[in-house]
Amino acid sequence: MGSPRYDYHVHSDYSDGTDAATMIETAERLGLDGIGFADHVLISHPEKRDQHGYPMDISAIPDRHDELERLREQTDVRIFEAVEIDYYPFDEEAIDAFLIEHQFEYVIGSVHELGRYHPDEPTPSVHHNDEDFFEGKSEVDRMTVIDRYFDRVVRLIESNLVDVIAHLDLIERNPALRGLTTDEHYHAVAAALAEGDAIPEINGTSVTDDWPVLPRRRCFEILREYDIQFVRGSDAHGTASLETRNDRIDRWADRHDISFHTIA
Ligand SMILES: [Zn+2]
Ligand SMILES: [Zn+2]
């Protein structure tokens, strides 16, 4: 018997995904043993949340809790109540207070943006949506963005605020930032992971056909040198991606002889 197939990273319609009942039905059909609803939470600048569209309305957390409780009674698939929190170093205290106030089964931490909401550091999203912004920058400037991204990821790991580190290498989705990362960046991340308690995920986001998951091949190889374990996280926002991404992760895991860790 292998370890249970728990997909710890999906989104319901409390953030930018699909209603939980439909996702659970699909998880059942796919033979997943568990599915974790990790809806987006953005602590920074609440007034910007509405403009941005993706984060969950924090006041709806109790409703989501009740809905998941209800759905648990109708399925054998394990259902986890979690969040994916946007990490900014200047938010650490607020994130900590939020996580004490709301108890989740686990917490995923993400670096999506470096400073969109910070007036001193207005850097757009590091993944594909803001390609144009980075395309116009010199290589030195783009390298500064890469450094800052990995610095943030290391700080997120060291903050001990979260259990799972989402989609390492997310910057690789942005063609203007792809291929600039060095082994040194990856060693810094691997060393922090080896020291701390947070575990990275194998994320079902595909960047190129030759390597169908995040983190990218080189990062994965370096993390393996440090004996880092992984959890599964499709990051599906809908039923089609729940299926294709889990399928992709399974085939990838078989090829690399990976069995996934369970955390809850
Ligand atoms: Zn994310
Ligand atoms: Zn996500």
State the ligand closest to the CA atom of 235.
2
State the ligand closest to the CA atom of 204.
2
What's the whole-number mean pLDDT along residues 11-19?
Answer: 96
Which of these ranges, 19-23, 119-123, 205-209, 220-224, has the smallest mean pLDDT? 119-123
Q: Mean pLDDT, the chain, as a whole number?
A: 92
Residue 160 neighbours by CB distance under 10 Å? 12
Q: How far is the CA of 208 from the centre of ligand 2 (A)?
A: 19
pLDDT value of residue 130: 72
State the ligand closest to the CA atom of 10.
2
- Above 80 in pLDDT, residue 113? yes
**What's the pTM value of the predicted model, to 2 decimals?**
0.95
What's the whole-number mean pLDDT along residues 88-92?
Answer: 91
Give the pLDDT confidence of 1-10 residue by residue, as tens digits: 578 999 999 9
Which residues contact residue 2 at a Cβ distance below 8 angstroms, ignoring those fewer than 6 apart? 259
Give the pLDDT confidence of 54-71 residue by residue, as tens digits: 889 899 999 999 999 999
Q: How far is the CA of 3 from the centre of ligand 2 (A)?
A: 23
Query: Given pLDDT bands bounded at 50, 70 and 90, which one contains residue 25?
Result: very high
Q: How far is the CA of 156 from the centre of ligand 1 (A)?
A: 14
Please say whether the beta carbons of 35 and 7 come within 8 A. Answer: yes
Say how far apart CA 134 and CA 178 lie, in whole Å.
Answer: 11
Ordered structural domains, the chain, with CATH? 6-255 (3.20.20.140)
- Above 70 in pLDDT, residue 87? yes
Q: How far is the CA of 177 from the centre of ligand 2 (A)?
A: 20
Give the pLDDT confidence of 152-199 residue by residue, as tens digits: 999 999 999 999 999 999 999 998 899 999 999 999 999 999 999 999
Among the residues of the chain, which ranges form H helices? 20-29, 46-52, 61-72, 92-101, 131-135, 139-159, 183-195, 217-225, 239-255
Q: How far is the CA of 52 from the centre of ligand 2 (A)?
A: 15
- Above 90 in pLDDT, residue 109? yes
For the chain, give the percent of residues with pLDDT over 90. 77
State the ligand closest to the CA atom of 8.
2
What's the whole-number mean pLDDT along residues 217-236?
Answer: 98
What's the whole-number mean pLDDT along residues 24-29?
Answer: 98
Q: How far is the CA of 226 from the centre of ligand 2 (A)?
A: 25
Total residues found in the chain within this entry: 264
Q: How far is the CA of 94 from the centre of ligand 1 (A)?
A: 19
Query: Given pLDDT bands bounded at 50, 70 and 90, which one contains residue 129?
Result: low
